Structure 1
Amino acid sequence: MVRRRSLAFVGVAALVPLVASAVSAQAASGSLAVTTLGRHGAKVSTTVTVVAVPSGQTYSVTSGKRISLPAGRYLAMTDIWEHGTEGLGTDTIGAQVVQVSGSTSVTLDARKGKAVKVSLDTPADVTGPPRISAQVCAATVSNLPSAFSSGGWNYQGSLYAIPNSSKLLQFGYLAQWSGNDSYVAVKNTTGIPAAPGGSFKRSNLATMRFSVRSGTQMARQNDTALQAMPRTHDCTTDLMTEVRDDSAPYSATVHVTPGTWQPRDDLIASNGEDVGGGFPKVRTLKAGQSLTQSFGRAAWSPMHYLPMIGDKSVTFIPDALIGDPDVGVDGADPTKETVVLSKGSTTVKKQTVTNWGTGDAEFSAGIHSVGWYDLTVDAHRYRPGITFPAGMLSSRVTLDWHFKADPDKAMVAPVFMTRFLPTGLNSHNQAAANGTTTVDVSAGRGSQGPDLKFTEVTAKSVRVWSSADGGRTWKAATVKHSGSTWQASVHNPASGVVALRSEVTDAAGDRSVETVYRAYAIG
């Protein structure tokens, strides 16, 4: 049978170790051969990870093959996976500390493996065994042991670990029980215990609810997941559990052991291509605590980058122009935009750029005199090779910044980006026909790097308009200021979609106009 790809070892920020399959004859003063035996005693071919202690130099070798190594101490780690007549076969995770001197041989024997047993007082709707992802890690190299690890996954009853009390090793696992809700437990130990596993109670778990809306993403299929992210990296770091892989909209609830977790989502297009998603902020949960992680809430808009003045130029990075407000810059989609810098009626530069397929797209135009400049951006989502879902929201965003610039003074332009959050929408990002939607509006700006002067700028006024005809006509909304945000009351049409526009000005006359077309739908 075909072995399914494990989701357990997809890293958020994995440290990539130096991998080598051999060393020079001059450096090698020894060799190592690792034999791996299955649960019935027959030889099984596996890939063995060999880690030098304490340098972290890492080698990969097929079991039974001899590799030349400098004399010294090493960790040999592997997952001995065997086919089964049904199901997923068996996995036996093992590691051994080896002193290499001359021709050295060692055997990892799956018959010595002990079943990884976990228990939870599950509700009646959980009927199957837990799915367990487990790995053994080198505990002495790097602050991210999972980069020097070997592991696998299987269901309870088919996953084993060979005990080893060495403090040079860590053993971590993630277990998931599935019913109407999911229940997830993680545990890390020094060494591989003689009785690997653990017992957990639902009353000691925390709860994370996933709310996935539809309409805003480039694809309808949304795969949500959680990754363990302990504050001090250990052998559970990056172990991942799938929350739900389904067409949006949907909701899902996961009960997890207390600790720090990284929510994430991946968007899968109709052709099977992974076309987006991202990593919201890491969440730390205590026992009994409950929170909600949202994905896909309207409206998607620019996330971070502002015009920058320096080296006698105005520069703008056309990135994160249409993104999920609950995910941040990492959740932004690729775009293609026309950027124009002008001074009065004179066009300084006009350029069409895209961040699709490149990480260094940039607009830069030279300026030679102090004065008022206008930078306009007209951005559309852009992803060649896929078909966007019909009726996709936030398909286009425009920016119109008016600011004073001095070619001899480096600074971030004193302008803003607006974020719109329409309240009361349903799971399809739809508002009630002919009703009134309150839109939370925030005007933000952030540092663009340590090399540019960043000044605090206070918004003097915020105005908001809505359009029900694609931007041909606009209707002013009533805006109220409350603390650091504003609330706009938008009167909805009988059908269709609503575009939103804001204008933010400061006391010096700088102006920021932002428009999100198809911001939310009516239904």
Structure 2
Amino acid sequence: MMVRWRSLAFVGVAAALAPLAVGGASAQAASGSLAVTTLGRQGGKVATTVTVVAVSSGRTYTVKSGKRISLPTGQYIAMADIGESTTDGFGIDTLGAKVVKVSGSTSVTLDARQGKAVKVALDAPADVIGPPRISAQVCAATVSDMPSAYSVGAWNDAGSLYVIPNSSKLLQFGYLAQWSGDDSYIAVKKTTGIPATPGGTFKRANMATVRFSVRGGTQMARQHGVALQARPKTDDCTSDLMAEVHADSAPYSATAHVTPGTWQPRDDVYANNGDHVSGGFPKVRTLKAGQSVIQPFGRAVWGPLHYLPTVWQKSVYFVPEALIGDPDVGVTATDPTKETVVLSKGGTTVKKKTLTNWGNSGAEFSARISSAGWYRLTVDAQRHRPGITFPAGMLSSRVTLDWYFKADPAKSAVAPVFLTRFLPSGLNTRNQAAPNSTTTVNVSAVRGSQNPDTKFTKVTAKSVKVWSSADGGKTWKAATVKRSGSAWQATVRNPASGAVALRSEVKDAAGNRSVQTVYRAYAIG
């Protein structure tokens, strides 16, 4: 049986739109019934779970094959994966779907003997050995604008995956085929109805290329798995079918060649105890034949990615999320942290609170303010993931923020402060600079909209300063900073060993100040 990994963004949408699946005994206003028998490729009965979808409403039911389910009169789609064991241990899967009108006592059979092998071909290079792995699914095509939310799927090697043809336009069929060698070759295809000869032929010359570059040192664990998921612009029966491209300890590189279309890269990070501890989904890639792109993961420097203080309903709010994350991926690739947040005014503490977003997605800092004036909000965050041991020498282990801004409890607004993005050039795959060398660090002062109900104003950075430290923040040396387009470049002189911390200060014309520090921003080696 196939297990599909959906992206974080997609799960929420599917859950909102897909109707509740109900068991056989709970159907209301039943005036008919349906029994679905599933037969294997040798003609014997095979026990499996059948998904039944009402064409008019999308209401979904699940029932064991051979068991009768009470249903309202109407048109339904019955779908199942008929999985059978074999002596080699790999098994055979046959996907089948039938459109059936339920009126009174109705019975239907899904017969795997009618299944046709899903046959795919590629002009593969000599290093590709073994048959391709195929993930496939049948979907209800017209129930909603998300056919993949009403589907049954399976995966297996070519020669062991079958599908029963059905020309009904109420059905879709989609598959992803993957050939593995030195590189991966990945093809997707969907059809309306299930064709009599499922499959297809593909040419390497018509593919695009995704080159993964996974750097080491920045993550909470070293074991990384990179993958690609099909993400058509309009949901269909190939949506979120996934190919695992490579899994290994960082750093490494891997290359995948894919059919043109829209693809979602992803990265999954696992600790030594097997826990899934991190990962993320960068922007989707729409690729043309012959196009080549690089998808980085784990480049230094990790730091805050999104949230700024806001003044709302006479309080200062701050959400302690996305404080240490991969800037190449965005807010879906941030690690849990534990932080101390302090709001003060004129040297007097208004509120101090220690929080963590580990196991608590609703963590929030809020402090009531009674008068307009200059406020200071500081955040001291460290990665926090109980149950695992962080790799020795992990980078971006701690981040601090020090914001000084003018606030008025009567005016809701995003504070006029910034986050800083540091991007050092010339580092190796372990995010190391050469000893006693000079590193150019690209520096961007960024701010993004926050709460949609809170006013967001444009703020221009007037000055940017950068410092570096080779002793964990005990002493700091000023870096030479020059403007470079809409950003800045800082020249940092590296020590002979250890790691480099980076600190920035951004000011605007009104005197609002943003100071950000990333400890162990990059290593020396």
TM-score, normalised relative to structure 1: 0.98
- 1:449 deviation in Å? 2.2
- Aligned partners of 2:24 and 2:68 also within 8 Å: no
Residue from 21, 41, 44 that aligns with 1:42: 44
- Aligned partners of 1:54 and 1:140 also within 8 Å: no
- Could you tell me which runs of 5 or more consecutive residues in structure 1 were left unpaired when the two chains were aligned: none
Residue from 185, 191, 194 that aligns with 1:192: 194
2:404 counterpart residue number? 402
Q: Where do 1:215-234 residues align within 5 Å?
A: 215-234=217-236
- 1:370 deviation in Å? 1.2
2:241 counterpart residue number? 239
Q: Distance in 1 between matches of 2:318 and 2:129?
A: 55
1:276 aligns with 2:278: yes
SS in 2 for 1:425: coil
Q: Distance in 2 between matches of 1:66 and 1:196?
A: 31
Q: Distance in 1 between matches of 2:489 and 2:34?
A: 68
Q: Distance in 2 between matches of 1:7 and 1:291?
A: 28
2:375 counterpart residue number? 373
Q: Where do 1:249-288 residues align within 5 Å?
A: 249-288=251-290
Letter of the 1:372 counterpart: W
- Aligned partners of 2:28 and 2:72 also within 8 Å: no
Letter of the 2:458 counterpart: E
Q: Distance in 2 between matches of 1:336 and 1:188?
A: 45
Question: Stretches of 4+ moved more than 6 A in 1?
Answer: none
The alpha-carbon distance between structure 1 residues 154 and 346, as it changes in their structure 2 partners (threshold 3 A), is: same
Q: Distance in 2 between matches of 1:9 and 1:493?
A: 44
Letter of the 2:491 counterpart: S
Q: Distance in 2 between matches of 1:382 and 1:127?
A: 43
SS in 1 for 2:326: coil
1:123 counterpart residue number? 125
- Aligned partners of 2:323 and 2:399 also within 8 Å: yes
1:140 counterpart residue number? 142
SS in 2 for 1:146: helix
1:10 aligns with 2:18: no
1:181 aligns with 2:183: yes
1:492 counterpart residue number? 494
Letter of the 2:337 counterpart: T
Residue from 460, 477, 480 that aligns with 2:479: 477
- Aligned partners of 1:93 and 1:136 also within 8 Å: yes
- 1:10 deviation in Å? 3.3
SS in 1 for 2:34: strand
Q: Distance in 1 between matches of 2:7 and 2:55?
A: 23
- 1:127 deviation in Å? 1.6
Q: Distance in 1 between matches of 2:185 and 2:172?
A: 23
- 1:450 deviation in Å? 1.8
Q: What is the percent sequence identity of the aligned residues?
A: 75
1:306 counterpart residue number? 308
Per-residue CA distance 1:140-176 (angstroms, 9 max, x = gap): 1122111110110000111111000000000000000
- Aligned partners of 1:120 and 1:200 also within 8 Å: yes
Q: Distance in 1 between matches of 2:233 and 2:54?
A: 26
- Aligned partners of 2:208 and 2:291 also within 8 Å: yes
Q: Distance in 1 between matches of 2:27 and 2:165?
A: 34
- Could you tell me which runs of 5 or more consecutive residues in structure 2 were left unpaired when the two chains were aligned: none
- 1:447 deviation in Å? 0.8
Q: Distance in 1 between matches of 2:82 and 2:472?
A: 60
Letter of the 2:418 counterpart: F
TM-score, normalised relative to structure 2: 0.98
Q: Distance in 2 between matches of 1:157 and 1:371?
A: 72
The alpha-carbon distance between structure 1 residues 26 and 317, as it changes in their structure 2 partners (threshold 3 A), is: closer
1:32 counterpart residue number? 34
- 1:366 deviation in Å? 1.1
Q: Distance in 2 between matches of 1:190 and 1:518?
A: 53
Q: Distance in 2 between matches of 1:319 and 1:10?
A: 22
- 1:87 deviation in Å? 4.2
- Aligned partners of 1:71 and 1:101 also within 8 Å: yes
Letter of the 1:383 counterpart: R
1:443 counterpart residue number? 445
1:452 counterpart residue number? 454
SS in 2 for 1:203: helix
Letter of the 1:468 counterpart: A
- Aligned partners of 1:23 and 1:69 also within 8 Å: no
Q: Distance in 2 between matches of 1:274 and 1:377?
A: 27
Q: Distance in 2 between matches of 1:347 and 1:325?
A: 32
CA RMSD of aligned residues (A): 1.0
- 1:6 deviation in Å? 3.6
Q: Where do 1:60-79 residues align within 5 Å?
A: 60-79=62-81
Residue from 361, 369, 384 that aligns with 2:386: 384
- 1:88 deviation in Å? 1.1
Q: Distance in 1 between matches of 2:259 and 2:4?
A: 17
The alpha-carbon distance between structure 1 residues 25 and 453, as it changes in their structure 2 partners (threshold 3 A), is: closer
Per-residue CA distance 1:107-165 (angstroms, 9 max, x = gap): 10000000100001001111211000000000011221111101100001111110000
Give the aligned length: 519
1:59 aligns with 2:61: yes
Residue from 295, 306, 315 that aligns with 1:293: 295
- Aligned partners of 1:7 and 1:241 also within 8 Å: no
- 1:24 deviation in Å? 4.9
